[in-house]
Amino acid sequence: MKIESRKQEIITTAAKLFKEKGYSAVTMRDIAKVMGIKAASLYNHITSKQDILKDIIISLAETFTDKMAAIRNAELSNVEKLKQIIQLHVDITAGNTFGMAALNNDWMHLEDELNYYLELRSNYEKNFRAIIEEGIASEEFSQGNVEVMLFSMLSTLRSLYIWIPKKEDVSPQQLSKDLASVLINGINI
Amino acid sequence: MKIESRKQEIITTAAKLFKEKGYSAVTMRDIAKVMGIKAASLYNHITSKQDILKDIIISLAETFTDKMAAIRNAELSNVEKLKQIIQLHVDITAGNTFGMAALNNDWMHLEDELNYYLELRSNYEKNFRAIIEEGIASEEFSQGNVEVMLFSMLSTLRSLYIWIPKKEDVSPQQLSKDLASVLINGINI
DNA sequence: TAATTAAACTAACAACTGTTAGTTTGGTAG
DNA sequence: CTACCAAACTAACAGTTGTTAGTTTAATTA
């Protein structure tokens, strides 16, 4: 269906603009202008501005939730699980920095799906926390403030959308490796 | 001057709303409603919406720039400098989570002062990077990807405004300590 | 008491917002 | 050749936006 691909073009364009200025500051006329058409023409393909935001955010959030569940249930050491989480973030973000910006900055503008999104995020964080706790229990990780560990790693991974576009020369593979090194071993000698 | 304190009330209220929905989604009528007055009355105290944003962001950015310069030039080990940077972020953020949210999320909506802000931020990052590089040269820090180290620490520190309000029971002192431990030593055994 | 003044008010503006309705265009399939 | 249809268009809407102008209120000062 051609309508699908045109719709996708609109969503991609919108995500790019949302990253620059945020959902609220982007008008339908802005999106249309970038695409070289009039705002009213957008409605041949999408149903509303809100619908664009939902399409960008929910699919990403569901992907994270699904992959996290797979990692959590895998037969792996907790160190290995952590490395897979890092790779998950790097891979998804490298493939869609614009969408990740919206996920991080514009989720509060979701209307119907806000609670659903919050559930997904809460579920994700719970699994992340559990992996850290299990890693401490198995003496893979040091005893320390679990919340600070979680917060620090999650902040870094969630900020990748800012950083990756500035370092296009770095491969996702190398970045994952370096990130794992810093997040797990710190920076001391 | 009473006008100053009333102006400050407006700025604080605005910052609170900016944190929730972002600068663009907050209207002058929103701010006025929270203060129990009409939107037009705000203009007895402030000159424009843009002026509120500038007041919130620039003062914070200048504080960071000044304190960073002081730390950089201090007679301290690089480990100690890093710990002071961490404490700087924790202290300022704990004292003004709303303003820090605007600093992080709404800087792109600055008009006249956008370039000035970008210079301050660039200067800040340059000093931060230099401390890491000097720490590696003096063998205080491990050899590793400097950009990833910088990015990871900065992402964590910049996200504090999200995290601190959720953990009101933790003292800034304790948080700085735990953060330093995780950022420097990582989470491994 | 009279004058001053900080800080609120009402009313209005021009521009912009997301969205709808109905129409035109140009290429493709029967 | 005709019918169809995706995808653009023009025109318009009702509501919201930041902001200005001029006015009222209530407390303080001279």
For each of chain B's 189 residues, which pLDDT tens digit applies? Answer: 343 589 999 999 999 999 999 999 999 999 999 999 999 999 999 999 999 999 999 999 999 999 999 999 999 999 999 999 999 999 999 999 999 999 999 999 999 999 999 999 999 999 999 999 999 999 999 999 999 999 999 999 999 999 999 998 999 999 999 999 999 999 987
Q: What percent of chain A has pLDDT over 70?
A: 98
Tally of residues, chain B: 189
Contact assignment for B188 to A163 by CB distance below 8 Å:
no
Interface subset of A 88-107, CB within 8 angstroms of B: 105
At A3 the pLDDT is: 39
> Within a 13 Å sphere around the CA of A67, how many CA atoms are in the beta-carbon half?
18
Give mean pLDDT, residues A153-164.
98
- CA-to-C1' span, A165 to D11 (A): 42
Among the listed residues A38, A157, A172, the one whose alpha carbon sits nearest the alpha carbon of residue A94 = A172
At A129 the pLDDT is: 98
DSSP type of residue B141: B
- Which residues in chain B are closer than 8 Å to A109, comparing Cβ atoms? 21, 25
Q: Is the CB of A27 under 7 A from strand D?
A: no
Among the listed residues B161, B135, B162, the one whose alpha carbon sits nearest the alpha carbon of residue B149 = B135
CA distance B153 to chain A (A): 8
Q: In whole angstroms, what is the distance from residue A153 CA to residue A183 CA?
A: 7
Among the listed residues B10, B84, B81, the one whose alpha carbon sits nearest the alpha carbon of residue B44 = B10
Q: Look at residue A1 and tell me whether its pLDDT is greater than 70.
A: no
Q: In whole angstroms, what is the distance from residue A187 CA to residue B96 CA?
A: 29
Interface subset of A 126-155, CB within 8 angstroms of B: 132, 135, 139-142, 144-145, 147-149, 151-153, 155
Q: In whole angstroms, what is the distance from residue B172 CA to residue B174 CA?
A: 6
Task: Name the token pair of B176.
Answer: 């700085």
At A154 the pLDDT is: 98
- Using 50, 70 and 90 to split pLDDT, how confident is the model at A9? very high
Residue A37's SS3 state is coil
Encode pLDDT of A41-60 as tens digits. Answer: 999 999 999 999 999 999 99
At B1 the pLDDT is: 36
- Which residues in chain A are closer than 8 Å to B135, comparing Cβ atoms? 187
Q: Is the CB of A44 under 7 A from strand D?
A: yes
- Using 50, 70 and 90 to split pLDDT, how confident is the model at A113? very high
CA distances (Å), A172 to each of A80, A180, B55, in order? Answer: 17, 12, 39
Per DSSP, what are the bridge partners of residue B188? A141
Q: In whole angstroms, what is the distance from residue B152 CA to residue A160 CA?
A: 9
- CA-to-C1' span, B29 to D15 (A): 14
Which one-letter amino acid corresponds to residue B188? N
- CA-to-C1' span, B14 to D18 (A): 15
CA distances (Å), A11 to each of A18, A35, B98, B114, B163, in order? Answer: 10, 11, 31, 28, 31
Q: Which domains does chain B have, with CATH numbers?
A: 48-185 (1.10.357.10)
DSSP type of residue A43: T
Tell me the backbone φ, ψ of residue B147, rounded to 5 degrees.
Answer: -65, -40
Nucleotides of D strand lying within 7 Å of any protein CB atom: 6-12, 16-22
At A123 the pLDDT is: 98
* Phi-psi label, residue B126: left if phi above 0, alpha if psi -120 to 50, beta otherwise: alpha
